[in-house]
Structure 1
Amino acid sequence: MRIDVKKFLFVGLEDDKGLFFSKAQEAGITHFIPQNGPTPKEIPTCIAQMTQALKILRGLTPLPQEEPADANVAHGMALRIIKLKEKIEKNQQDLRVNDLEMARVAAFGDFSFENLQEIEKTSNRVIQFFYAKQGFAEEKEIPDEVIYVGSDFGLDYFVSITKEPKKYDGMTEMHFTQTHGTLKQKKKTIENELQATEHELRGYAKYNRYLQKALIEDLNLYHLNEAKAGVKNELGNGIFAIEGWVPVNKIDEMKNSVQNLHIYAEEVAINPEDSIPTYLENTGYNRVGEDLVHIYDTPSHTDKDPSLWVLLWFAFFFSMIVGDAGYGLIFLLTALYIRYRNKTFTTFGHRMWKLFMLLAAGCITWGILMNSFFGIQIGMDNPIRKVSLMNYLVEKKAEYHFRHHDEVEKKWVQEIPKLKEAKNYKEFLSGATKKEKGEVVNAMYNQFSDKILMELALLVGTIHIIVSLLRYVKRNWAAVGWVVFLIGGYLYAPYYLGATSIVDVLFDIRPEITGKEGIYLIYLGIGLAFLLSFIQNKIFGLLEVMNLIQIFGDILSYLRLYALALAGAMVAAVINEFSAKTNIVFGILLFVIGHLVNIALAVMGGVIHGLRLNFLEWYHYSFEGGGKKFDPLRLEQLE
């Protein structure tokens, strides 16, 4: 939940300043306001080096943690780790350069520059090295003084022995200062040095936690000094003053922490130009939702906390997009394995694990409701069908059309004549079978379920937007009209498209009636939205017309739930089909790899679009954003 903050002025003696800020840091409830305005934050060198060293250690194999005998060597140790890493990178670069040079001169074998110089001196000749495009030696006539050595890496290599330096068409002279043997010895030296350096660096992995503690201490000291630097010294006479924000539920705690420090703390008026921070206080799953909220933006100091709403809707959208109980079971087993392997979590890690469990449970539940397990439709006679929402809605739809003998029923009888003999809706539904690709499928069930899934996506979108509008109805009176408009639109759209809605089926209403009531609600909602907006905003209320297109577009965005769920189901079905038609070994391999890829795509779609529908479509109507996170002076703790 979001808790209001109050602005306080703290005044005290200069001698008590250090103790005051130390106590405030221990309490961790006051967001101090720098009196000289915000200044660019320059990270101290020691903190930057410590952070860099810890990043390096994170890439090493973990070791049992130890504390050094001397407790004050953290900064020297961090610097040494950085130097070792730089040395390793230099050695690796030297190896790459050396290998390239070895490859360049390998064709000429091992020789001595001293011997070459002696030969040139005694014979009064010049020895040169050349290379040309591979095939040059075969295609061109080579001068007598040029000797073909060999070919490698797409090049031909040559040596010439002449009285004076020469150039040859199509050939490029090579210059090098080290022979292949020298380079080989150099490589061995570099490798030995690299091995020793890596061994020394790996040994520092046992000081990972020690360096983390040192970094926390440096950060706490840095934040403390930064807060002190924001003090106003204009009062003189050995008195300091600073302002800060305190949550209303922490005011008594703040006053108790300063009462023995000769510090005067008084609430002061908030100026219009003040940037008021947003303080969110959540526990449990609400705190998990807060993590999701901060991915996009920080709520403004007047926003209602959307944390739990965002979490629940995100989990619901993710489950709809993945839409498979089998995939949810894999998520659940993975989460349990992670828990088994990690007996303790960091606070953030535990929240992410809880989110993973919630998503797994959601996928399993929605997959059962939609009759999907690894892309395999649960059989018509399976007991699980009794708790299936999709099965219930399909049966109700079949019953509705069978009882009313409408155009849908006539179409199916014309398409499958044997349905004339159906005595009840169950026979009508179960008899609508066809042979497709060599398999018998229930065409009616598949068509009805496809349309129901699409309508569920639009229904969920309508409810989601309505919830958003109602959350801020006190700020925006026109939201009442738009809620009526959305309900009317949902009722009218199926009638306009010549379809039967879930509402018609569940409440046994003729589409003409719901369509007529829907159009009335559409007109009533638009009129009500304009009227209430005009009353609240006067002449600017006329701009409310722009929301009509916005709301319509936002609702259509929820069709992505249907599209992504359908795409995932089709991919899973294709994987199952191909797996069944191949030999058992390749079939199992295809089944596993195919479903793993499909799971990865479903997770990406679920995360991206599950969050997008919250952050873009939903936030339009119940989120101002642009807030500044409440950031009190506090002691950082190592988890």
Structure 2
Amino acid sequence: MSGALELVQFQLTLQFLREYPHRRRQSRDISRFDALEVERKTLDVRRRLLEFTDERDFLIKRIQDMRPWGDFVFSPLHEMGNLRFWFYVVPHRDMPKVAELGLPYEIVKKDNRNSYVVVISENEPEGMPVNRTHIGYQPRHVLEALLEDVELAIEDVQAERAYLTRWYTLIKDNIATLEDQAALTAALNQTYTRHEMFGLRGWVPQNRLPQLTDYARRHRVHIDTREAEPDDNPPTCMENPSWLSAGEDLVNFYMTPGYRTWAPSPVVFISFALFFAMILADAGYALLLGTLLLFFWRKMGASRAGRRFRPP
């Protein structure tokens, strides 16, 4: 398992245990703590809990869909003469369309808005005003029994989760070490050392390549360059005119765009300014901010950071 993947697994473990509302008393005995074993058990509990929760939600929905039709057992198809039951929840206003089909049907229940209709046909009826309701082939009492089993299984899994929470503090303390190991592994993957030879791999913007090449020549260092491959993931370098550079800060505040995506800094800067102007439609606020801008105009222009927030 790579260092980065192992770190992600531990972070999932830590989050899963942190979200449990009733943690056990924390164990401090590091001699009894096996980080990999706790991670394996916790992720297994997480997987089973997700599976049981999905199954429970499915059963609850299926039982709710079946409730208006009652609890019954389907007869074998050959005893039905290859006829099947098709279930529909039809608004009262659309019931004449059902009658026009000429198929045998039965209204088993009505409420204020809908009629619950069973149509008898060998194939799914065509021309029904609504889509059919899927209720499956198992009787409702069987689904209710399955639901009880699943809910008991969820309680058992939550009990396992509660037991594992006693290692939460030790996992949290161990995360820092894992992060250091992952950072060290990433750095080692970008370097090469053998006897007196040392190699370093990294990324450089294309417009800075002449500067880097000149540095390598002056220091008698060999440099080899290549374009980014399709499966590479270089860091993103955004460069805009000084009067648009503030847009970079706005973009990076939310998320740095990917290397192969278009740079949204100019659009974000202009649209943000427009929307901000719309929000500050009150002339008093606009006048106040304009006065502050004029007051600090020279001071902002005296530093590179200040010039990012005002045009030259």
The alignment's TM-score, normalised by the length of structure 1, stands at: 0.30
Q: Give 2:297's match in structure 1, choosing from 454, 465, 479.
A: 465
5 Å-filtered alignment, 1:212-223, equals: 212-223=172-183
5 Å-filtered alignment, 1:26-65, equals: 43-61=3-21, 63=23, 64-65=25-26
5 Å-filtered alignment, 1:399-548, equals: 456-471=288-303
Q: Residues 148 and 157 of structure 1 are in contact (CA less than 8 Å); yes or no, is this contact kept in structure 2?
A: yes
**Residue 137 and residue 218 in structure 1: after superposition, are their counterparts in 2 closer, same or farther (change >3 A)?**
closer
- AA aligned to 2:295 is I
- AA aligned to 2:92 is G
**Residue 216 and residue 471 in structure 1: after superposition, are their counterparts in 2 closer, same or farther (change >3 A)?**
closer
The offset of 1:65, in angstroms, is 2.8
| 2:66 equivalent in structure 1 | 105
CA distance in 2, matches of 1:98, 1:616: 57
Q: Residues 67 and 210 of structure 1 are in contact (CA less than 8 Å); yes or no, is this contact kept in structure 2?
A: yes
Deviations 1:245-298 (A, max 9, x none): xxxxxxxxxxxxxxxxxxxxxxx9699x9xxxxxxxxxxxxxxxxxxxx9599x
- AA aligned to 1:457 is L
**Residue 200 and residue 154 in structure 1: after superposition, are their counterparts in 2 closer, same or farther (change >3 A)?**
farther
Higher radius of gyration, 1 or 2? 1
The offset of 1:225, in angstroms, is 4.4
RMSD value, Cα = 4.5
The offset of 1:169, in angstroms, is 5.8
The secondary structure found in structure 1 opposite 2:71 is coil
Q: Residues 129 and 174 of structure 1 are in contact (CA less than 8 Å); yes or no, is this contact kept in structure 2?
A: no
Greater share of helix residues, 1 or 2?
1
2:156 corresponds to 1:196? yes
CA distance in 1, matches of 2:115, 2:180: 62
**Residue 135 and residue 89 in structure 1: after superposition, are their counterparts in 2 closer, same or farther (change >3 A)?**
same
Q: Give 1:148's match in structure 2, choosing from 98, 101, 107.
A: 107
**Residue 154 and residue 205 in structure 1: after superposition, are their counterparts in 2 closer, same or farther (change >3 A)?**
farther
The offset of 1:227, in angstroms, is 4.4
| 1:85 equivalent in structure 2 | 46
CA distance in 1, matches of 2:50, 2:303: 56
Structure 1 residue ranges without an equivalent (≥5) = 1-41, 244-267, 274-293, 298-320, 322-449, 473-612, 622-639
| 2:92 equivalent in structure 1 | 135
The offset of 1:74, in angstroms, is 1.0
Q: Give 2:309's match in structure 1, choosing from 608, 617, 621.
A: 617
- AA aligned to 2:47 is E
- AA aligned to 1:465 is W
CA distance in 2, matches of 1:106, 1:207: 44
| 1:75 equivalent in structure 2 | 36
What is the number of equivalent residue pairs in this alignment?
232
Structure 2 residue ranges without an equivalent (≥5) = 201-217, 224-251, 256-278
Deviations 1:540-585 (A, max 9, x none): xxxxxxxxxxxxxxxxxxxxxxxxxxxxxxxxxxxxxxxxxxxxxx
**Residue 454 and residue 104 in structure 1: after superposition, are their counterparts in 2 closer, same or farther (change >3 A)?**
closer
**Residue 209 and residue 240 in structure 1: after superposition, are their counterparts in 2 closer, same or farther (change >3 A)?**
farther
Deviations 1:59-95 (A, max 9, x none): 2326343235644511221232222222222222212
- AA aligned to 1:196 is D
The secondary structure found in structure 2 opposite 1:111 is coil
- AA aligned to 1:148 is I
The alignment's TM-score, normalised by the length of structure 2, stands at: 0.57
Deviations 1:299-353 (A, max 9, x none): xxxxxxxxxxxxxxxxxxxxxx9xxxxxxxxxxxxxxxxxxxxxxxxxxxxxxxx
Q: Residues 129 and 157 of structure 1 are in contact (CA less than 8 Å); yes or no, is this contact kept in structure 2?
A: no
CA distance in 2, matches of 1:111, 1:466: 83
CA distance in 1, matches of 2:123, 2:302: 89
CA distance in 2, matches of 1:101, 1:143: 29
**Residue 464 and residue 117 in structure 1: after superposition, are their counterparts in 2 closer, same or farther (change >3 A)?**
same
5 Å-filtered alignment, 1:276-315, equals: none
Q: Residues 56 and 85 of structure 1 are in contact (CA less than 8 Å); yes or no, is this contact kept in structure 2?
A: yes
